[in-house]
Structure 1
Amino acid sequence: MSVATLLDRAKSQGVMIATAESCTGGMVAAALTDIPGSSAVVDRGFVTYTNDAKQQMLGVQAETLDAYGAVSEKVAQQMAHGALRNSNAQLTVSITGIAGPGGSEFKPEGRVCFGLAAKGQKTITETVEFGALGRDKVRLAARDHALDLLSRGLSSIA
C-alpha cells in the first residue's frame, strides 16, 4: 500500500499516528509527512537515538535496556507504548536496530526490532534480520517495513 493510501485510510478511520524511531532517525515520520495533508493523521514522531532519550521521551525502563539491550523486542514494545502514552495517537510504530556498519555475533548488523501498538489492541513485536546490506539499505528496509506494519495496524483496528 502506498503511503498516501495509508494516510487516506487512517484519516477515514479517524486514526492518528505517532512514530518512535531509533536506527531510522525519523525516516518513517518523514515518509508520512512528505504527503500533503498528512497533518490530519500524523500526530508526532519521537527520534530516540540514545538509551537516555528512549527513557526520557518514551519511558523505556533502564532495567529493560540492561536486561535485553536497546535492540530487542522488549525495548521496541516499550517504545511503542511510550509513543502511545505520550501522544494523541491511536496507532504507533517503533523501530530499534543495528543499521551498521558493525554489530556482534549476538546482535548482527541488519537486525531491527519493531513494535506496533494501538489503543485497545494487543501490542505486536517482531524482529527482522535484513542482513548486512549496508547502513542506507537497512534503514530504508526498516522504514518500509514500519510503514507496512502501520498498514496492518489500520486493518486490525478497522
Structure 2
Amino acid sequence: MTALLAPRILERAKAQGKTVTCAESCTGGMVAAALTDIAGSSAIFERGFVTYSNTAKQDMLGVLPDTLQTFGAVSEEVAREMANGARQAAKSDIAVAISGIAGPGGSEHKPEGRVCFALATAQGTHTETIEFGALGRAQVRNKAKDHALSLILSAL
C-alpha cells in the first residue's frame, strides 16, 4: 500500500504547492522514510520528528506536561499537540502525528495495537484512534504508517 500512497502524496502536494511533515512515536520515522523514499520528495518534505520519549514530545513539539500526565502519551490529546507542534515547527501545510502501542504489551486501558492519529492543516486538527489489535509489533507499525499516509493523502 505504501508503494501507492507515497507517490500520490508527492504528486498532489507538488501540484498544490503544499508541504508535509510528520511527528512519529511508535512508527519511529517510517512515515518520513516512506515519503523520502520517493525521488523529488524534497519539494514537499523538509523535516519529520521522531519523538519516541515524552521528553522529546515536549522539547521538540511543545506537548504539554499536563496533557501527557492527564491523558498519557497514547491519546488523541497528545497526538493533537504533536501534529500542531510539528506543523508549526516545520512551517508546513499538513502534519500527521502518530502515537501508539505497537507491542508487545499494553494494558487493560491501553491495549496493544491502539494507535492515535492527528492530522493538522490550516482548517484545523482532526484526531482519531484505531484499534489494530495485537497483530505483532511490525504489523501494527506498518498499518499505522499506511494509515498516516492515507490521512495525508485525504488532506490533499
TM range (shorter): over 0.9
Q: Supply the RMSD in Å over aligned alpha carbons.
A: 0.7
Of residues 32, 35, 40, the one that matches 2:38 is: 35
1:70 to partner: Cα distance: 0.1
1:33-72 aligned at under 5 Å gives the runs 33-72=36-75
Percent of aligned pairs sharing the same letter: 62
Structure 2's unaligned 5+ residue stretches are none
1:43 to partner: Cα distance: 1.7
Cα distance between partner residues in 1 of 2:124 and 2:39: 31
* Matched AA of 2:135: L
1:95 to partner: Cα distance: 0.1
Tell me how many residue pairs correspond in the alignment. Answer: 153
Q: TM-score, normalised by structure 2?
A: 0.97
SS in 2 for 1:100: coil
* Matched AA of 1:23: C
Q: Does 1:78 align with 2:81?
A: yes
Cα distance between partner residues in 1 of 2:5 and 2:28: 21
| Corresponding position of 2:126 | 124
1:88 to partner: Cα distance: 2.4
SS in 1 for 2:124: coil
Kept in 1, the 8 Å contact 2:8–2:153? The answer is: no
Q: Does 1:105 align with 2:108?
A: yes
Structure 1 runs of 4+ aligned residues shifted over 4 Å read none
Structure 1's unaligned 5+ residue stretches are none
| Corresponding position of 1:145 | 147
Residue deviations 1:41-83 (CA, integer Å, cap 9, x gap): 1121000000000000000000000000000000000000000
* Matched AA of 1:56: D
1:2 to partner: Cα distance: 2.6
1:17 to partner: Cα distance: 0.4
